[in-house]
Amino acid sequence: MADVIKVSGLGKKYGSFTAVDGISFSVKEGEIFGLLGPNGAGKTTTIKMLTTLLPQTFGEATVSGFDIRKKQKDIRKIIGIIFQDPSLDDELTGRENLEFHAILYNIGKEKRDRKIGEVLRLVELEDKADEFVKNYSGGMKRRLEIGRGLINDPKVLFLDEPTVGLDPQTRRHIWEYIKRLNETHKTTLILTTHYIEEADYLCSRVAFVDHGKIVALDTPTALKNKLGGDVISVQLGKKNGDSFIKALGKLKWVKTMSHHYDFIDLTVEEGERKIPDVVILAREHSAEIASVSLHKPSLEDVFIHYTGKTIRDEAGNEMEGMRARFRSRSMRR
């Protein structure tokens, strides 16, 4: 398949601050490609440059062969954008929102009416088409925004945090719409997300973004396979024991180790057999273990491996995110 997007050394600076730091990647036609990383990593800035909403400071990129610096009008004709922040007019009906957007693209009335009907069927809002958007649920609004992004038959659809703020059940429904859209329309999709499970479920390939750089890029399966084996997660108690941590790092059967706050993740083979050894080692070094869990490597483990931290929902909320992650693992075990 041909590359519909090519990015080479792309960057954006605000004074002395570098938001995007020379990233390079390509996206194939019909692919679902994900930019995964914490808030502030540079994902949205990247999307804004590719959609011509923000000029790049350095580097190059093309969308369907059009240069983002020189062919902005051509790019805007062939893309759709689903913004992170709501952008619907609540005082219009769902149908009126779609019609207004179609008029902006100079779509004639006959084609406009047909396309609006197709979009409403796709996002399952036919029975709500003539209701005011202010009466829609959060999930319905998101589905309408996705439908609006399809009104001009885009070659590439950009989705910036498409399910942020939605409850888990509604988020899952949106995933299904995105999957169906890709499968039935063969539309190339690029999405940004800080939800690990969203990237794992939707994306054919994922780029980990941290501090404006791409630190890893591959299929979700390949990324997880790079760690291999099992992951033993150890939550330390009040007596962390620096000597215990150093001793763990010297064990020959530990393939990788990451230490973040009071959590240690060890990638090993035959994890169940190794847990007793970890507990014995902790006792030898007078280190207190609060809890231990065992699981197969996840995308989050891969992200921790490359960055030394978890992806968090909000800046400054790393600890709560890690505690929630640990609790969920313990429950799965």
Residue 240: per-residue pLDDT: 66
Please give the backbone phi and psi of residue 308, each rounded to the nearest 5 degrees, phi first: 80, 15
Distances (CA, A) of 146 to 64, 99, 120, 122, 308: 21, 14, 10, 10, 34
Dump pLDDT digits (tens) for 262-313: 889 999 999 999 999 999 999 999 999 999 999 999 898 899 888 877 775 3
Q: How many CB atoms lie within 10 A of CB 101?
A: 24
**For residue 327, what is the domain's CATH number?**
3.30.70.920
Higher pLDDT, 225 or 71: 71
Does residue 261 share a domain with residue 142?
A: no
Alpha-carbon gap, residue 317 to 136, rounded angstroms: 31
Residues 228 and 327 in one domain: yes
Q: What is the pLDDT of residues 149-180, one digit of tens each?
A: 889 889 999 999 988 888 888 888 889 888 98
Tell me the backbone φ, ψ of residue 62, rounded to 5 degrees: -130, 145
Which of 218, 237, 265 is the last residue before a domain boundary? Answer: 218
What average pLDDT does the segment 123-147 reach? 92
What tokens appear for 312 in the block? 């968090």
Provide the domain count of the chain.
2
Alpha carbons 303 and 281: distance in angstroms, whole number: 27
| Same-domain check for residues 35 and 165 | yes
Task: Encode pLDDT of 117-133 as tens digits.
Answer: 998 998 889 999 999 99
**Which stretches of the chain are DSSP H helices?**
43-50, 72-78, 94-104, 109-122, 138-149, 168-185, 196-202, 220-227, 242-250, 271-284, 299-307, 318-332
**Other CB atoms within 10 A of residue 179 CB:** 14
Of 218, 239, 271, which residue is a domain's last? 218
Phi-psi region of 9 (alpha: psi -120 to 50; beta: other; left: phi over 0): left
Whether 44 and 154 map to the same domain: the answer is: yes
At 322 the pLDDT is 40
Look up the pTM and report it.
0.80
**CA angle (209 as vertex; 208, 212 as ends), nearest 5:** 160
CATH of the domain at 197: 3.40.50.300
In this structure, are residues 90 and 48 in contact, taking their beta carbons and an 8 Å threshold?
A: no
Residues 13 and 162 reside in one and the same domain = yes
Q: What is the domain extent for residue 84?
A: 3-218
